[in-house]
């Protein structure tokens, strides 16, 4: 191992040539595809050299939000990202169990990279769940997850502010001599002195993580690493744009549609009904999901647009105040027939004055 490390490290410093024949700044060949799984809301495959991630994005409603118990209290999370690193991705036949430190750490790094580019909940009221399956790995699978997540979300119709890409930088340091490597291999990570992951957009950085095996790095090395990372990131974004350069104009065919309306807070009780009787009836008869917040915001969701329209019409019939000269359909209690009536006004006692002469 010592001899192997010595040969690799000194060859890079002396010849500026790496194990696979690349120079210090070249990124491995990239292939990106979107819409690879037709039944999902959004999907993408991102391949860089011998590292590949299959990423699937799913859109949900408010019922799918995650409740997080933290030191600051309980909060809701609308963006979830799961990173899976099965043993077969590195040619092993190991057992698969609960997520380990790698899965949790890499998933959180990718989550931090994407989060700043997501739209505000008021603009896009969906819960987003992304799963990244690493199908093969030879370095920088977390950054492949960042790229694949960006593509899959855009494929699902999520209006990202900017596409996001990531790259892993390496370092060989011997005395005063050093070499910064762009897009490192697994062996370069193992035999090198640094694994510096940089993710961001064409405008700037959204996430950083540095692992080093040495005491520290100089300001000069940091500048070189960030400069090479920017160039590499822009190259990767260009390759991603060949597959999809902006978010789709609408959400996926199989994703739920969500409409948001606002009702007076004093009408919330009427829409919910005694023991939830009214809202359950709305859901059962229209087939749409209805979420009501304390501030009067109502989210109606369904994959069927007609179901959404029917539910909203029902809710408005409960919350809207009667208008003079408006025409309503009333039910004749004894006979069961329906007639159109015109609201003429209210008498001194507050009784409704109606007319069938429309």
Domains and CATH numbers, the chain: 2-243 (3.30.230.70), 257-355 (3.30.1370.10)
Q: Quick one: pLDDT at residue 323?
A: 78
pLDDT for 113: 98
Q: Mind listing the pLDDT tens digit for each residue in 247-305?
A: 999 998 889 899 989 999 999 999 999 899 999 999 999 999 998 988 999 999 988 88
Closest Cα to residue 50, out of 170, 134, 132, 137? 137
**Which residue numbers in the chain have pLDDT < 50?**
none
Specify the pairing of strand 79-84 against strand 127-136: parallel
Handedness of CA 107, 111, 112, 114 (dihedral sign): positive
Are the beta carbons of 200 and 113 closer than 8 angstroms?
Answer: yes
- The pLDDT assigned to 209 comes to 96
Compute the C-alpha angle 78/81/86, nearest 5°.
155
Grouping H, G, I as helix, E, B as strand and the rest as coil, residue 56 is strand
In this prediction, residue 345 carries a pLDDT of 86
**For tokens 């359909």, what's the residue?**
329
- Structure tokens belonging to residue 281: 């009836």
Of 80, 68, 87, nearest to 129 by C-alpha is 80
Show the tokens assigned to 333: 């209690």
The pLDDT of residue 358: 61
Rounded to whole angstroms, how far apart are CA atoms 9 and 346?
Answer: 90
The whole-number pLDDT of residue 176 equals: 92
What SS3 state is found at 10? helix
Does the reported pTM lie above 0.85? no
For the chain, the C-alpha Rg in angstroms (whole number) is 28
| Residues in Cβ contact with 107 at an 8 Å cutoff, skipping those fewer than 6 apart | 81, 82, 83, 99, 132, 145
- Decide: helix, strand or coil at residue 3: helix
162: exposed, middle or buried (Cβ count in 10 Å: 0-12, 13-18, 19+): middle
Token couple for 112: 């931090």
């Amino acid at each position: 191992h010592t001899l192997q490390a010595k040969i690799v490290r000194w060859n890079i410093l002396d010849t500026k040539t790496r194990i696979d024949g690349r120079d210090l700044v070249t990124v491995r060949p990239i292939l990106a595809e979107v819409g690879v799984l037709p039944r999902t809301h959004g999907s993408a495959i991102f391949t860089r050299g011998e590292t590949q991630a299959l990423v699937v994005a799913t859109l949900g409603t408010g019922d799918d939000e995650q409740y997080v118990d933290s030191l600051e209290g309980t909060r809701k999370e609308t963006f979830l990202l799961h990173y899976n690193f099965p043993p077969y991705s590195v040619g092993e036949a190991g057992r698969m169990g609960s997520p380990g430190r790698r899965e949790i750490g890499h998933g959180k790094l990718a989550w931090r990279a994407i989060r700043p580019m997501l739209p505000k909940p008021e603009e896009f009221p969906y819960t987003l769940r992304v799963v990244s399956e690493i199908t093969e790995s030879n370095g920088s699978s977390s950054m492949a997850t960042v790229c694949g997540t960006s593509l899959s979300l855009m494929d699902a119709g999520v209006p990202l502010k900017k596409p996001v890409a990531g790259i892993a930088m390496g370092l060989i340091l011997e005395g005063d001599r050093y070499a910064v490597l762009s897009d490192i291999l697994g062996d370069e990570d193992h035999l090198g002195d640094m694994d510096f992951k940089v993710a961001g957009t064409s405008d700037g950085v959204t996430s950083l993580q540095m692992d080093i095996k040495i005491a520290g790095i100089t300001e000069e090395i940091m500048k070189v690493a960030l400069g090479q990372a920017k160039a590499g990131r822009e190259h990767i974004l260009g390759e991603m744009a060949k597959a999809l350069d902006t978010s789709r104009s609408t959400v996926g065919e199989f994703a739920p549609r969500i409409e948001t309306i606002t009702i007076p807070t004093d009408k919330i009780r009427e829409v919910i009904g005694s023991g939830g009787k009214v809202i359950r009836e709305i859901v059962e008869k229209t087939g749409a999901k209805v979420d009501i917040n304390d501030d009067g915001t109502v989210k109606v969701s369904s994959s069927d647009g007609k179901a959404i329209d029917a539910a909203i019409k029902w809710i408005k019939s409960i919350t809207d105040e009667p208008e003079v000269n408006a025409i309503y359909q009333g039910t004749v209690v004894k006979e069961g027939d329906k007639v159109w009536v015109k609201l003429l006004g209210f008498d001194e006692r507050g009784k409704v004055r109606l007319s069938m002469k429309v």
